[in-house]
Amino acid sequence: MSTLSQLAESLIGSEIVKLGNEISKRVREGEKIYNFTIGDFDPGIFPIPTELEEEIIQCYKAHYTNYPPADGLPELRTAISDFIQDHAKVHYLPNEIQVASGGRPLIYATFKAIVDKDDRVIYAVPSWNNNHYTAMNHGVHCTIDAHPENNFMPTVADIQPHIAGAALVCICTPQNPTGTTMSKETLEGICNLILEENKKRTGTTKKLYLMFDQMYALLTYNDTVHYNPVALRPAMKDYTIFIDGISKSFAATGVRVGWSMGPANVMGKMRALLSHIGAWAPMAEQKATANFLVQKEAVSKHLLNFKSELKVRLEDIYKGLVILNKKGLPVESIVPQAAMYLTIKLDLVGKKTAGGVTLKNQVEVTEYILDKAKLAIVPFYAFGAGFHSPWYRLSVGTCVKSEIPEMLALLEKALSELV
């Protein structure tokens, strides 16, 4: 018999955090692991920008340690408005911006502001945490299985049959876990669906909204372009809630400054929700971020170096995996496009180990790669995909460049031993 709430009894913890904790335990016990599981940065390899660090220190010295305003410091929301105008070519007034302690509380508040019990939520898998947020709000999962030929993104044809009566469409691009992006044509088509559906909803009928997570928008490589729904279709401004912040683009995951942009009435409801939770970004960090974002030269310098370091890691590992594939080994990868992630395919179910043990499922494949290659990566089933999916996320936020060749050598040995 349940002794707690239905939500508490049915809630599933983060599979990624669970895996990361298991890896950390093995590392503490002295085992050498190439840990590419967590979407975070090793500050010793990827520190936050020096200018941001100095601003934070000075703000604490100036005693910015009291409660911040519920919607965020006015100077921060103004700085965000200017920053978004520069980088995304869309304009949001400060009252259309909501600040919080990173992206998670903003996603939570978005769901709470829009999704009622039994409302339909459309999202593709693999994707980060949409399944959990839908479950927490007792929404109806409208899950789309995305495929590599579409960069693991939902297509217009995927979404169209489910759009009538839905409450929320969730898109993340560049995407966690895949490091891939949505094409201009696909995003335009999805925007058209949402606009057409909302034209049909008259009177007091609830509108259909798009939650657009662009936390990795500034981390694109080579010819990859990040597209913005409001820039493509200005009418989408009435129905789009952005999730954004400094966590990924500035290696500032622990600094906890995120923001949403969207219709003022929705931002107001999210603000009210967050005021009861208290999920504000700390006052000093808000003040420091406001001071940093206006330093355009420092921002550009950081992004140039940061992206270069991420890119070289992603491309070196990708090239190494291509070589292994050409040797006939069962590993594939998708060309890195954005973010800090590389998508890898390890289709090893049914293979036998040197000891004659058959790998029966992806859990056993993951354990084999960890035990034999000392490589820790996250299976896509941790992102809502099916348990039979052979795809994995590799995150380079803790990657030491000099260790890439030895990691690839161990992986080659482990794969070579399978028959």
pLDDT digits (tens, 9 = 90+) for 312-360: 999 999 999 999 999 999 999 999 999 999 999 999 999 999 999 999 9
81-93 exposure pattern, b = at least 16 Cβ within 10 A, e = fewer: bebbeebbebebe
- Name the CATH superfamily for 6-46+300-416: Aspartate Aminotransferase, domain 1 (3.90.1150.10)
Nearest to 23 by CA among 43, 37, 40: 37
Task: Give, to the nearest 10 degrees, the angle between helix 283-293 and helix 74-88.
Answer: 40
Query: Quick one: pLDDT at residue 3?
Result: 77
- For residues 369 and 401, the answer to whether their CB atoms sit within 8 Å is no
- pLDDT of amino acid 80: 98
* Span 124-137, average pLDDT: 94
Give the chain's radius of gyration (CA, Å).
Answer: 22
The pTM (predicted TM-score) of the whole model is 0.95
Task: Give the chain's length.
Answer: 419
Q: How confident is the model at residue 146 (pLDDT cuts 50, 70, 90)?
A: very high
Indicate whether 125 pLDDT > 70.
Answer: yes
Query: What does the pLDDT read at residue 2?
Result: 61
Max Cα–Cα distance, the chain, nearest Å: 67
- Nearest-angstrom CA–CA distance, 373 and 353: 13
- Mean pLDDT of all residues in the chain? 95
Asked whether 281 and 72 are in contact (CB, 8 A), the reply is yes
The predicted-structure confidence for 396-412, as pLDDT tens digits, reads as follows 999 999 999 999 999 99
Collapsed DSSP state (helix, strand, coil) of residue 97: strand
d(CA 70, CA 276): 10
Pair 125, 96: CB distance under 8 Å: no
- Taking the domains of the chain in order of start, what are their residue ranges? 6-46+300-416, 50-296
pLDDT reading at 252 higher than 70: yes
Task: Give 43-66 pLDDT, tens digit per residue.
Answer: 999 999 999 999 999 999 999 999
Looking at the predicted structure, is the pLDDT value of residue 387 above 70?
yes
- CATH class as words, domain 50-296: alpha beta
Task: Give the single-character DSSP code of 101.
Answer: S
Residue 1 has pLDDT above 60, yes or no: no
